[in-house]
Amino acid sequence: MNIFDAHCDVLMKMYIDPDISFLDSDKLHITKQGLLEEGGKVQCFAIYIPEKVHPDMRFQAALAMVDIFHEKILSEPEMKFIKTKADIDSLKEREIGALLTLEGCDCIGNDLLKLKTLLHLGVSSVGLTWNYANLVADGALESRGGGLTQFGTEVVNLLNEKSIWCDLSHLSEAGFWDTIKRAEFPIASHSNAHHLCSHPRNLKDSQIKALLQKNGVIGVTFVPQFLSNRDSSSIKDILKHIDHICSLGGERQIGLGSDFDGIEHMVENLTSYKDYHNFINELNRLYSSEFVKGLLFGNFTRNFPVKKERF
Ligand SMILES: [Zn+2]
């Protein structure tokens, strides 16, 4: 069973600790070994710059993570850099696609050229914020709850022009509504349903419906705090979010964004990528194989923007 996982923070961990090996480090939730064992076919690797990095050094840190992506992940013979939909379609057996994404635009400051540079380097999906405010928009935990800025509008326009996914996960509610109006390729790479778990990082039903209406995909995430209001979460809780999103019409617009390596607490029996089969077994028991294939792989893959023709 092929898996497309729309979000992980492996690059952040490898940036913080240069000794970590992508091959099979026990410090990582996602390793090459885990991907090969579980059917990992496309993995998104987020550039997420730790909060402690000084604002003046954040773009430098982003470039350092691009370097880690090339030197330590793409250097593995099975790993292939995914920049277009055709790259996914042409993956051979035992090849794993690696997709570069940006989580939060704080590293570009107010400089569109920095964002364009990251796109030239192969970033395929851009999350506008992390949890707090930056010059593009406010994040979900920013108490003033502002929306998209003037500069943020320019960022979304650039993503539209370049046919790049605009990732709405982490945005404030006002930021979400400002962005969904403008974004041509919106997704939510790692967000769950607010209806089931009232965390500000989750999306309300009206937001999920708006995303579905704009042909976006939502990646259900394995973050225990976004799955239930209890202290711990189980695979059953993930299934509840899947069912809820489907009840809103998302059967073919739902995928997965694990957030592995970005989380300290894990779902029971889903503590790393190597546990994916526990989750897939449950899916196969309860849903049609067509639905499971779409959820695990097909829905995000089908949604990958095809670059506009140049005239
Ligand atoms: Zn995140």
Kindly tell me the burial class for residue 154, based on how many C-beta atoms sit within 10 Å of its own C-beta (0-12, 13-18, 19 or more). middle
Q: Sorting pLDDT into bands at 50, 70 and 90, what band is 309? A: low
Ligand 1 centroid–CA 52 distance in Å is: 16
Q: What are phi and psi of 213, to 5 degrees?
A: -65, -30
Residue 59 belongs to a domain with what CATH number?
A: 3.20.20.140
Expressed in angstroms and rounded, the spacing between residue 19 Cα and the centre of ligand 1 is 23
Question: Does 246 score more than 90 pLDDT?
Answer: yes
* Residue 168 resides in a domain: yes
Q: How far is the CA of 102 from the centre of ligand 1 (A)?
A: 10
Average confidence (pLDDT) over 282-297: 98
- What pLDDT score was predicted for residue 308? 74
Query: Looking at residue 131, what is its pLDDT?
Result: 97
Contact partners, residue 54, CB within 8 Å, separation at least 6? none
pLDDT bucket at 311, cuts 50 / 70 / 90 = low
Q: Region 7-14: what's the mean pLDDT?
A: 98
Average pLDDT over residues 194-214: 98
- Name residue 60's amino acid: Q
Q: How many domains does the chain have?
A: 1
Q: What is the pLDDT of residue 307?
A: 83
Ligand 1 centroid–CA 128 distance in Å is 11
Please tell me whether residue 247 adopts helix, strand or coil conformation: helix
Residue 311 lies in a domain: no
Rounded to the nearest whole angstrom, what is the distance from the C-alpha of residue 259 to the centroid of ligand 1? 7
Backbone phi and psi for residue 29, each to the nearest 5 degrees, phi listed first: -80, -30
What is the overall mean pLDDT for the chain?
Answer: 97
What's the gap in Å between 169 CA and the centre of ligand 1? 7
Give dist(CA 73, CA 184) in Å, integer. 30
Q: pLDDT band for position 256 (50/70/90)?
A: very high
Closest CA to 255 of 206, 294, 205: 294
The predicted-structure confidence for 176-189, as pLDDT tens digits, reads as follows: 999 999 999 999 99
Mapped onto helix, strand or coil, the DSSP state of residue 5 is strand
**What's the gap in Å between 310 CA and the centre of ligand 1?**
33
Would 227 be classed as within a structural domain? Answer: yes
Q: Is 76 exposed, middle or buried (0-12, 13-18, 19+ CB in 10 A)?
A: middle
Residue-range definition of the domain harbouring residue 103: 3-303
Q: Using CA atoms, how far apart are residues 301 and 293, in angstroms rounded to an integer?
A: 11
Query: Comparing C-alpha atoms, which of 195, 169, 194 is closest to residue 180?
Result: 169
| Position 310 pLDDT exceeds 90 | no
Q: Is residue 236 part of a domain?
A: yes
**pLDDT per residue as tens digits for the range 49-80:** 999 999 999 999 999 999 999 999 999 999 99
Which amino acid, 125? S
**In a domain? residue 309:** no
17 within a domain of the structure (yes/no): yes
Amino acid identity at 234: S
* Domain contains 308: no
Give tens-digit pLDDT for 78-129.
999 999 999 999 999 999 999 999 999 999 999 999 999 999 999 999 999 9
Percent of the chain with pLDDT over 70: 99
Q: How far is the CA of 257 from the centre of ligand 1 (A)?
A: 9
Ligand 1 mean position to 131 CA, how many Å? 8
Domain assignment present for residue 310? The answer is: no
132: left (phi over 0), alpha (psi -120 to 50) or beta: beta
* Res 199 pLDDT > 60: yes
Flag whether the pTM goes above 0.95.
yes
pLDDT score of 155: 98
Predicted confidence (pLDDT) at residue 156 exceeds the cutoff of 70: yes
